[in-house]
Amino acid sequence: MKKILRALAIVTLGLAVLLVTIRAGDAEWIEGKRIQLSTSLTVALQPTSADTRGLLSSACAVRPSTSSSKYRRLPAVTGQLPLSRFRQGLDAAASKDLSTDSPSYSPREEVILAHPTNFGRRFLQDLYGKPVQNDAIVVLHETVGSAKSTINYFRTSHPKDADQVSYHTLIKEDGTVVYMVPPDRRAFGAGNSAFGGSTEEAVKTNPNFPASVNNFAYHISLVSPPDGRGNRSSHSGYTRAQYQSLAWLVAKTGVPDARITTHRLVDRSRQRSDPRSFDSQYFFRLLYLYPRNREISMQCSTPAIAQEE
């Protein structure tokens, strides 16, 4: 009996040590592998570098900073994040069974991380400390510029608030889906903006700028055709592959039809008209072919960090 008790004690002690070890090591699960968030990350997650470590966390921030000139100076990002940081459920075999009608379309996907000055954490409270609980919306855009110049701009450090801009995701002419900002982070896709009619939804997060939808928006941008570079009111439109990819992507956000909108509709500056020449009937026809799920989740996680770093 004594022997058994002693053995039990040793096992219990061993478990306690193991638990302590797991707690002490700041770790994350990525594609079934437990990744230690230390310098070994660089090795474990090629080509993720130590610079992108903080971006693996989906933590919310409690409240925006009220200081008026808070320029963000963050180091250059030299690494990447895994695809699973942008979309869960990558082995979608199960979702195929949900609907026999759903098309077997799946686009090429790329991760090209935006520079962290160009996006932030989602907030639990607005600038004045009022809790915000808006459901997610999807906001559609077009780039106007080429994919290359848009991506280059988002990859560039912009310390001044006024220069910062990003979308979560870009869809190239060939249908390639380019993930640039993790969905649980706040992309800077719309300036002065609000969603809805009589009860307008907007969150003020910066003392120097009007309220916007960014805190609860998932911003997707279609790369404009070459004849859409200027500011004419229309152009030749988007490719079939872009519509296919857009429907495939939006279905994975689980956002209901009534909360899918455009930059033109949420804009309150009267300066934005994108996406121009967008065939929304064709888009919704395609969207209904896909099962809705939440592989792309805009929910940031708690406990939140006090303020955006």
| Sites of contact with Zn ion (CB under 5 A) | 141, 263, 274
Nearest residue (CB) to Zn ion, 267 versus 295: 267
Question: Distance between CA 262 and CA 199 in Å, rounded?
Answer: 17
Nearest residue (CB) to Zn ion, 136 versus 222: 222
CB of 237 to Zn ion, least distance (A): 16
How far apart, in Å, do the first and last CA atoms of the chain sit? 56
CB of 160 to Zn ion, least distance (A): 20
- Contact (CB, 8 A) for 188 and 207: no
CB of 168 to Zn ion, least distance (A): 12
Per the structure block, which two tokens stand in for 133?
Answer: 């609980």
Nearest residue (CB) to Zn ion, 186 versus 263: 263
Question: Distance between CA 145 and CA 143 in Å, rounded?
Answer: 5
Nearest residue (CB) to Zn ion, 87 versus 141: 141
CB of 263 to Zn ion, least distance (A): 3
Question: Distance between CA 255 and CA 198 in Å, rounded?
Answer: 21
Residue 178, Cβ density class (10 Å: 0-12 exposed, 13-18 middle, ≥19 buried): buried
Closest CA relative to residue 162, chosen from 67, 42, 69: 69
Question: Distance between CA 186 and CA 189 in Å, rounded?
Answer: 9
Phi, psi of 228 (to 5 degrees): -110, 20
Closest CA relative to residue 307, chosen from 216, 212, 205, 187: 205
Nearest residue (CB) to Zn ion, 52 versus 166: 166
Nearest residue (CB) to Zn ion, 125 versus 143: 143
CB of 203 to Zn ion, least distance (A): 18
Nearest residue (CB) to Zn ion, 273 versus 293: 273
Per the structure block, which two tokens stand in for 254?
Answer: 């689980």
CB of 246 to Zn ion, least distance (A): 14
CB of 140 to Zn ion, least distance (A): 8
Element (H, E) at 137: strand 137-142
In sequence order, the 6+-apart residues with CB closer than 8 A to the CB of 289 are: 101, 102, 103, 247
Question: Distance between CA 123 and CA 217 in Å, rounded?
Answer: 12
Nearest residue (CB) to Zn ion, 81 versus 217: 217
Radius of gyration in angstroms for the set of CA atoms belonging to the chain, rounded to a whole number = 22
Residue 208, Cβ density class (10 Å: 0-12 exposed, 13-18 middle, ≥19 buried): exposed
